């Protein structure tokens, strides 16, 4: 354990913040995505202190809190996430666990992979895989959550420069899905996810090793080869284990976009949306409202690298802070009628790094904001186009409730469509 992490176990949340309960672990599990907002609304404040798993923590929400949380150099992710979730979603040595110059250097490599040509290519690959899958859907009932995972797994491999014909795609899809599903669980589901994560890392290490040794041809312009050749700030290639982790950190989030695709289908059914004649701008506004409105990441954690003051409250170095992402996306001061689904709010939206934080906030350059946002928007927008322009389907009676006490969540039925 690092010195900062050890300090964080001793550091107290600001005494001047109101306290909400002695230990709120069970309340968090019971209330889920609404945990922070419930207490903020009750207290009439945007922050409070409590304990989670007996550890002192400050919980915050809203654009002002996000600006404080994402202030450059103020927080580290080290020691801020439960180890069980860290090993499934990021793992040690990944870009999100780095700070300072090392983080900026590694992130620049990911940013370079997300140019307009790469995003357009992702959309084309996704459309191709969707159309291939849809050829077998006619006259059948399809669980969109499952179908999207299959399509996105193949898309992710191809986008990274990995030939699906040479891989066990079903195994890769099971591993990637398990990482996503198991991050917020305990017991057998989590243990299975950890085992599948280890299997996926062994596969990724072999693949990186084969690319480096010339045993596998790889397009040097595509992400798998770029990660295999990436060098750190001192000019050394990444350790094979770290390059493998970063490869999974490209593949897994692409598969996770399936949740937004299902949410988009849910929104089309429940709230209505862009019709077949709608243009790209209308689809983008619709996708942005899906990202704001529906629950994805519940919160993100950090440990203060140095003391700071926010709204008159002093935070000590090592203080553990949780930023409520779901509650920030629905903060009433930032979003009029936050519980209403209104895509038109994004028609002329110019962007806000701290009010719109479904996958984290802050700036792309130099900050921790995920460049995978661009892929999420591109792929979900293409899915909306395919659903509204390229196919006809009905939505049979089913359980479409979205439980807010489950991480991650989605419609209980997985969203079944009856394809004509």
pLDDT digits (tens, 9 = 90+) for 284-338: 999 999 999 999 999 999 999 999 999 999 999 999 999 999 999 999 999 999 9
Among 100-104, 260-264, 342-346, which is the least confidently predicted range?
A: 100-104
Contacts 24+ apart (CB under 8 A), 227-234: 227/109, 230/106, 230/109, 232/102, 232/105, 232/106, 233/101, 233/102, 233/105
- Mean pLDDT along residues 111-118: 92
- Is residue 94 a contact partner of residue 201, using CB atoms and an 8 Å limit? no
Which domains are assigned to the chain? 3-419 (1.10.630.10)
Question: Please, which pLDDT band fits residue 366 given cuts at 50, 70 and 90?
Answer: low
For residue 16 the two structure tokens come to 């001047």
Tell me, what's the pLDDT at 368?
66
Helices (H), 2-82: 3-10, 25-31, 35-43, 63-69
Does residue 224 surpass a pLDDT of 90? Answer: yes
Tell me, what's the pLDDT at 9?
41
- Mean pLDDT along residues 6-34: 79
Encode pLDDT of 371-408 as tens digits. 889 999 999 999 999 999 999 999 999 999 999 999 99
Question: Please, which pLDDT band fits residue 355 given cuts at 50, 70 and 90?
Answer: very high
Does residue 111 surpass a pLDDT of 90? Answer: no
Encode pLDDT of 232-246 as tens digits. 888 899 999 999 999
Measure Cα distances from 189 to 297, 334, 409, 410 in Å: 19, 37, 15, 17
Does residue 32 surpass a pLDDT of 70? Answer: yes
Question: Please, which pLDDT band fits residue 10 given cuts at 50, 70 and 90?
Answer: very low
Residue 2: exposed, middle, or buried by beta-carbon count in 10 A (0-12, 13-18, 19+)? exposed
What is the rounded distance in angstroms from the CA atom of residue 251 to the CA atom of residue 249? Answer: 6
> Mean pLDDT of all residues in the chain?
91
Tell me, what's the pLDDT at 79?
79
Largest separation between any pair of C-alpha atoms in the chain: 62
Tell me, what's the pLDDT at 93?
63
Return the C-alpha torsion angle 399, 270, 284, 292, nearest 10.
-70
| β-bridge partners, 299 | 324
CA 390 to chain centre: 28
Does residue 11 surpass a pLDDT of 80? Answer: no
Q: Record the pTM.
A: 0.93
Residue 247: exposed, middle, or buried by beta-carbon count in 10 A (0-12, 13-18, 19+)? buried
Instruction: Compute φ and ψ for 41, nearest 5 degrees.
Output: -70, -35
For residue 116 the two structure tokens come to 């307009």
Among 85-99, 128-142, 206-220, 297-311, which is the least confidently predicted range?
A: 85-99
Measure Cα distances from 282 to 236, 244, 314, 343 in Å: 45, 38, 44, 8
Tell me, what's the pLDDT at 69?
96
What is the rounded distance in angstroms from the CA atom of residue 367 to the CA atom of residue 380? Answer: 24
CA dihedral sign, ordered 230, 234, 239, 245? negative
Encode pLDDT of 182-198 as tens digits. 887 778 888 999 999 99
Tell me, what's the pLDDT at 153?
98
Question: Please, which pLDDT band fits residue 96 given cuts at 50, 70 and 90?
Answer: low
Report helix angle 116-134 to 372-389, nearest 10: 40
Does residue 97 surpass a pLDDT of 70? Answer: no
Does residue 277 surpass a pLDDT of 70? Answer: no
Tell me, what's the pLDDT at 14?
66
Residue 28: exposed, middle, or buried by beta-carbon count in 10 A (0-12, 13-18, 19+)? buried
């Amino acid at each position: 354990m690092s010195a900062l992490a050890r300090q964080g176990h001793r550091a107290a949340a600001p005494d001047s913040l109101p306290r909400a309960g002695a230990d709120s672990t069970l309340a968090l599990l019971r209330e889920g995505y609404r945990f922070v907002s419930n207490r903020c609304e009750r207290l009439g404040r945007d922050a409070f202190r409590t304990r989670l798993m007996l550890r002192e923590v400050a919980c915050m929400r809203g654009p002002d809190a996000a600006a404080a949380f994402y202030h450059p150099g103020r927080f580290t992710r080290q020691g801020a996430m439960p180890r069980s979730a860290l090993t499934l979603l990021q793992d040690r040595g990944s870009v999100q666990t780095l700070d300072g110059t090392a983080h900026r250097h590694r992130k620049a490599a990911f940013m370079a992979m997300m140019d307009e040509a790469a995003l357009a290519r992702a959309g084309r690959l996704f459309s191709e895989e969707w159309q291939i899958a849809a050829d077998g859907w006619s006259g059948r009932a399809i669980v969109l959550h499952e179908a999207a995972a299959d399509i996105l797994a193949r898309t992710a491999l191809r986008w990274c420069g990995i030939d699906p014909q040479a891989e066990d795609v079903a195994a890769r899809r099971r591993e990637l899905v398990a990482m996503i599903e198991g991050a917020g669980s305990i017991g057998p589901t989590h243990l299975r996810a950890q085992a599948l994560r280890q299997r996926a890392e062994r596969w990724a290490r072999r693949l990186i090793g084969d690319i480096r040794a010339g045993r596998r041809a790889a397009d040097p312009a595509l992400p798998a080869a770029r990660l295999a050749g990436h060098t750190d700030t001192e000019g050394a290639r990444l350790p094979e284990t770290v390059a493998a982790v970063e490869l999974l950190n490209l593949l897994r989030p692409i598969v996770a976009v399936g949740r937004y695709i299902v949410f988009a289908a849910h929104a089309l059914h429940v709230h209505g949306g862009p019709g077949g004649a709608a243009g790209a701008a209308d689809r983008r506004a619709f996708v942005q409202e899906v990202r704001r409105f529906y629950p994805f990441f519940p919160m993100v954690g950090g440990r203060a690298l140095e003391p700071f003051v926010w709204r008159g409250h002093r935070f000590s170095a090592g203080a553990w802070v949780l930023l409520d992402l779901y509650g920030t996306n629905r903060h009433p001061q930032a979003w009029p009628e936050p519980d209403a689904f209104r895509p038109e709010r994004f028609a002329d939206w110019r962007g806000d790094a701290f009010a719109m934080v479904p996958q984290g906030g802050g700036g792309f350059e130099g900050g921790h904001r995920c460049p995978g946002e661009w892929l999420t928007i591109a792929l979900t927008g293409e899915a909306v186009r395919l659903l509204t322009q390229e196919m006809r389907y009905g939505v049979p009676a089913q359980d479409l409730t979205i439980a807010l006490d489950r991480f991650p969540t989605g419609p209980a039925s997985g969203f079944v469509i009856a394809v004509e």
